Amino acid sequence: MKRSPTDNLKSERLVSRRALLVGGVQLGLVGLLAGRMRFLQVDQADQYRLLADENRINIRLLPPARGLIFDRRGVLLAGNEQNYRIVIVREDAGDIDQAIARLGRVIDLDPDRIAQALKEMGRRSSFVPVTIADRVSWQDVAEVAVNAPALPGISPEVGMSRSYPLDSDFAHVLGYVGPVSDYDLSRMDDNDPLLQIPRFQIGKSGVEAKLERKLRGSAGTRRIEVNSVGRVMRELDRVEGQSGASVQLTVDQPLQNFVQARLGNEAASAVVMDVETGDVLALGSTPTFDPNKFVHGISVNDYNALLEDEYRPLASKSAQGTYPPGSTFKMVTALAALEDGVVDMDEKITCTGYTELADRRFHCWRRGGHGKVDLVRSLRESCDVFYYELAQRVGIEKITLMAKKLGLGQRHDLPLSGIAQGLTPTKAWKLENRNAEWVIGDSLNASIGQGFVLASPLQLAIMTARISTGKAIVPRLVRSLDGIEEPFEPPAPLDIDPENLSAVRRGMYEVVYGQRATAGRSRIVADGMRMAGKTGTSQVRNITAAERATGVTSNEDLPWERRDHALFVCYAPHDAPKYAVSVVVEHGGGGSVAAAPIARDIMLQALYDGLPPLSAYPSSQRSTIREMQQGLDLRAPIEPTEGRGRA
C-alpha cells in the first residue's frame, strides 16, 4: 500500500528524533570515557606510574664487603677474597640429575655440597640461582664457560668470602663467620634486612661475633626489572653498600705465632699483656683449629673430630677456661693479710708439713715441712702451711675482696666469646650455691688457690699486671676502628699499700732467683731483663690418707686427665715492668717443670720482639734452647697491609 506524503513526513521526523537521541547517548558515553581517560592519564598519572613501576621493578639488597681485621702492626688477620662458584637455575637446566651429571664430567663435584644444593633447590623458586660448587678454581670456571652450550642453566659466578690468611694462629681470638641460621635469628635482636639474604654470613664466635654490627657494614641496592612471574629481565641501576669498619686489634702477630708454636701439642693456654696500657698482645690456646673450614660449612667428620678431642681444640682456654689457680693465688692471700695487718713481712711461721684442724690435716707439698718461714720465703718455696695460717687470721671475705681488687672473680669486657668470670667464693656464695655453711677448712683450701677458687689465664695475667705496677690495669683488645684510636684512660692506682706490694714483688723475684727457688731453672740471665714470677700446681683429684701413707702417686704414673694442672705467672723486667705473662698447661704436672719454661720463653720473645739470643739463657741450657728454637714452626715475617680504613 502506497504511503501518503504526510505519513512519510511523520516517519522521517520520528527517525531523526531517534537518531538524535542515540547520537546524544553515544556522545555522552564518549565524553564520559574521554573524561575518565583524562583523569587516569593526567590527573592520576603519577600514582599509576608508581603502581606500574612497583609491579615491574624490584629492589634487591647487595651484601657489603665485611670489615677487615688487623693486628697492632697492620698485619691482615681476617680479610675477604674473591670466591668463584658454579650456580644452577632449575628452570633453565631441565632435568636436574642429568644437568649435574653433565657438570660432573667437566669438573669435580663434592657429594655433600650437591646434597646441600638439592635441598636448597626444594626451598627456592625455580628461577633462583643455587650454588652447586663453591670455591672452585679459575680453571674450573674456564671449563664451565667453554662447555656452556652443553650446560644449560649452569654458569660461573664471582663473589666475596671471608678468609683467614694465618689460619689457626688467631682462631680463638677472631672466631669465624658462617651463614645465618634460624637459631641465630631467634636469639638476635636485629632487624637488619641483610640477615634475610640466603646464606648471608655473620660472625659466629670471637671478635667476628662480638663486633658483628661494626664489621657487617650496610647493604647496597640494585633495581632490577622482572616479568609477571618474578623472573629477572635486566638490571636498571645499582648503589653499592658501605663496607664494614676495619678493626685493628692490640694482638701482635709474630708474638701470637710464637706463643702458639711454643705451646705446641699441649692442652694449654698463655696470655701476654702490656702492663702499662693493658693491651692484650697474645691470647694463645692449644690445640687450635682452622677457621677457614667453618666459612662455608665444615664437614661432619671434621667437626666431630674437633668435638671428640679430649684436648678441646674448639675452646678458647685463655679466656673461657677456668682452673684452680693453685699457688699463683698465694700473692692474693699474702696481700689480704698484709693489708689487714695480721702479719708483716718479717714474721715467721713454723711449717711442720701440715696444719691440723679439728680431725683433719691440711698438708704442705713438702712432706717434712719448711721450718720457720717468713713472707718472702713462703713465696720462694711455695710453703702451704704459711698460707693456712694467714687464712685463719684474715678470713675468706677479705681474701675474696683482695682477689677482686686484683682482677679475679669478674668478667672483663673484651670482644671475645664466653669470657669466664671465674670464682672467688664467700660465705654467702656457698650457702646459696652449695646449701651449706662455710667452714674454716674452706678458707684454708682457698688460701692456696684450691677448693672453690677458679681463675682463667686472662685473669691471672691481669692479676700479675696489677701486682707488678700497683695500678688497676684494664685489659684492652681493640686498638682502633677505621683508623681512629680507641680512647685510653691511664689506669688508677690500686688501693693497696705500696710497701705491701713491694714485699710480694720481692717474694716473686725470689721465686726465680733465690736459693731453693721453685722456678730457678727458668730464670733469665740477660742484664735488665730479669723476671719475677710464681709457680702453681693445682690438684684435680683428692689424695687419700692411705695414699699419703704409702707415698703420693707421681703425675707421670697417673692417666693424663688425673694429673695436676701446671701454672706460672710472671712479669719482666722486675725493676721496670713491661709485660705480664700467664701460662696454664692442663694436666701438665708441676708448674715449675711444665709451665715456667714456656712462660720464660714467651717473655723473652716479647722483650726482644723476636727470637732472643742464647745469651739470655743460663749457659747450661743453651744447647737445649737452640734445639727448641730450631724445632719451632714459626712463620716468616709478614709485611703490614697498607691502609687500614674501610675495605
List pLDDT tens digits, range 174-202: 999 988 877 777 777 777 877 776 667 89
Q: What is the Cα–Cα distance from 501 to 337, expressed in whole angstroms?
A: 12
> Helical H runs in 249-316?
253-263, 292-295, 300-308
Q: What is the Cα–Cα distance from 493 to 45, expressed in whole angstroms?
A: 73
Residue 85 lies in a domain: yes
Residue 646 lies in a domain: no
Residue type, 234: R
Number of domains in the chain: 2
CA dihedral angle for residue 290, residue 293, residue 295, residue 299, rounded to 10 degrees: -150
CA distances from 622 to 275, 524, 614, 630 (A): 29, 12, 6, 12
Helices (H) and strands (E) counted in the chain, each on its own, are: 25, 21
Which contacts (CB < 8 Å, 24+ apart) does range 616-620 have? 616/524, 616/525, 616/526, 616/529, 617/524, 617/525, 618/521, 618/523, 618/525
Q: How many CB atoms lie within 10 A of CB 332?
A: 29
Catalytic residues: 327
Whether residues 506 and 616 share a domain: the answer is: yes
Whether residues 401 and 473 share a domain: the answer is: yes
* Residues in the chain, pLDDT under 70: 1-15, 17-19, 36, 39-61, 123-124, 127-128, 197-199, 224, 226-233, 235, 541, 544-551, 642-647
Residue 547 lies in a domain: yes
SS3 call for 22:
helix
> Helical H runs in 514-621?
545-550, 596-608
Contact 439, 395 (CB under 8 A): no
Whether residues 270 and 206 share a domain: the answer is: no
Q: How many CB atoms lie within 10 A of CB 539?
A: 13
Residue type, 420: A
Residue 645 lies in a domain: no
Residue 132 lies in a domain: yes
CA distances from 2 to 11, 12, 13, 14, 219 (A): 14, 16, 19, 19, 90
The pLDDT, as a whole number, for residue 647 is 47
Whether residues 326 and 452 share a domain: the answer is: yes
Whether residues 320 and 456 share a domain: the answer is: yes
Query: Locate cell 735488665: which residue?
Result: 528
Q: Cα 548 to chain center, whole Å?
A: 43
Whether residues 210 and 273 share a domain: the answer is: no
Contact 181, 163 (CB under 8 A): no
pTM: 0.85
Whether residues 132 and 91 share a domain: the answer is: yes
CATH of the domain at 128: 3.90.1310.10
Label residue 408 left, alpha or beta by phi (over 0 means left) and psi (-120 to 50 means alpha).
beta
Q: What is the Cα–Cα distance from 154 to 28, expressed in whole angstroms?
A: 59
Residue 35 lies in a domain: no
Residue 376 lies in a domain: yes
CA distances from 492 to 336, 467, 472 (A): 19, 13, 6
Query: Locate cell 698460707: which residue?
Result: 387
Whether residues 196 and 322 share a domain: the answer is: no
Contact 326, 304 (CB under 8 A): no
Of 216, 233, 249, the position where a domain reaches its end is: 249
Contact 429, 446 (CB under 8 A): no
Residue 27 lies in a domain: no
Whether residues 78 and 133 share a domain: the answer is: yes
Q: What is the Cα–Cα distance from 181 to 201, expressed in whole angstroms?
A: 9
Domain of 512?
Answer: 253-294+316-631
The pLDDT, as a whole number, for residue 501 is 98
Whether residues 219 and 366 share a domain: the answer is: no
Closest CA to 153 of 88, 104, 218: 88
Residue type, 361: R
Whether residues 179 and 205 share a domain: the answer is: yes
Q: What share of the chain is helix, strand, coil (3-state, %, to 5)?
A: 45, 20, 35
- 427-472 pLDDT per residue, tens: 999 999 999 999 999 999 999 999 999 999 999 999 999 999 999 9
Whether residues 238 and 267 share a domain: the answer is: no
Label residue 116 left, alpha or beta by phi (over 0 means left) and psi (-120 to 50 means alpha).
alpha
